[in-house]
């Protein structure tokens, strides 16, 4: 009986060990499966890494090419801007000169016309008044001289106004071309 009890203990021990071995075998199988998955993942990662390296290399080449093209475009634009600036400066000088001469010409014409009309009007009024109202002639002459004097002042104001208009036009043209 003692032998049976020992045998029973050994069988129980073997049963426990077989259960442990079975559990160990399941764990080992799971480890093998994980190992296989890891190897597969490593191979996929290496494949993706190679593809990524190739793509990165292509992307670097494309970026360099685009940077080169961008530099060319930038240089071309800068050259065109310089040409446009030169052309605009030349145009502005010619425009300023032309406007100045035309304003001076017209202001001179206006001034001559006003003076001629003032003298003609003055003579006409003077002749009419001399015939019609001799007693008020002195008073009218005084007023007439004031009108002529005011006319001269008006002519000077027109000259100043013409100069002011010329300056304003010049400033506007300058600002216009700077903003372009």
Asked if residues 155 and 116 have their Cβ atoms less than 8 Å apart, the reply is no
Question: Does pTM top 0.75 for this prediction?
Answer: no
Question: Tens-digit pLDDT profile for the chain (180 aa)?
Answer: 677 788 788 888 888 888 888 888 888 888 889 888 888 888 988 888 888 888 888 888 888 988 889 899 899 889 998 998 898 889 888 888 877 777 677 777 777 777 888 788 888 877 775 666 666 667 777 887 888 888 888 888 888 888 888 888 888 888 877 876
Q: Give Cβ neighbours of residue 152 (< 8 Å, ≥ 6 apart).
A: none
Residue 163: φ, ψ to 5°: -65, -40
Spatial contact of 170 and 96, defined as CB atoms under 8 Å apart:
yes
Phi, psi of 133 (to 5 degrees): -135, 80
The pLDDT, as a whole number, for residue 79 is: 92
Give dist(CA 154, CA 114) in Å, integer: 9
Q: Which domain holds residue 49?
A: 2-179
| Dihedral over alpha carbons 102, 105, 108, 110 (to 10 degrees) | -60
Query: What pLDDT is stored for residue 141 in this prediction?
Result: 77
Judge whether 125 and 144 are in contact, CB under 8 Å.
yes
Name which of 97, 86, 100 is nearest 164 in CA terms.
Answer: 100
Separation between Cα atoms, residue 109 and residue 114, nearest integer Å: 9
Instruction: State the total domains in the chain.
Output: 1
Distance between CA atoms of residues 110 and 127, nearest Å: 25
Structural contact between residues 115 and 155, judged by C-beta atoms closer than 8 angstroms: yes
């Amino acid at each position: 009986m003692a032998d049976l009890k020992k045998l029973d203990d050994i069988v129980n021990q073997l049963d426990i060990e077989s259960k442990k071995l079975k559990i160990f075998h399941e764990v080992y199988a799971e480890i093998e499966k994980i190992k296989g998955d890891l190897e597969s993942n490593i191979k996929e990662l290496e494949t993706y890494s190679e593809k990524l390296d190739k793509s990165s290399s292509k992307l670097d080449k494309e970026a360099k090419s685009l940077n080169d093209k961008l530099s060319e475009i930038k240089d071309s634009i800068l050259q065109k801007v310089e040409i446009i600036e030169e052309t605009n400066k030349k145009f502005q000088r010619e425009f300023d000169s032309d406007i100045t001469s035309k304003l001076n010409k017209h202001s001179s014409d206006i001034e001559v016309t006003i003076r001629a009309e003032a003298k003609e009007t003055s003579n006409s009024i003077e002749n009419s008044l001399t015939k019609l109202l001799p007693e008020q002639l002195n008073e009218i002459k005084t007023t007439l001289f004031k009108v002529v004097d005011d006319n001269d002042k008006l002519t000077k104001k027109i000259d100043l106004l013409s100069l002011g208009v010329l300056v304003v036009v010049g400033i506007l043209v300058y600002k216009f071309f700077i903003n372009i």
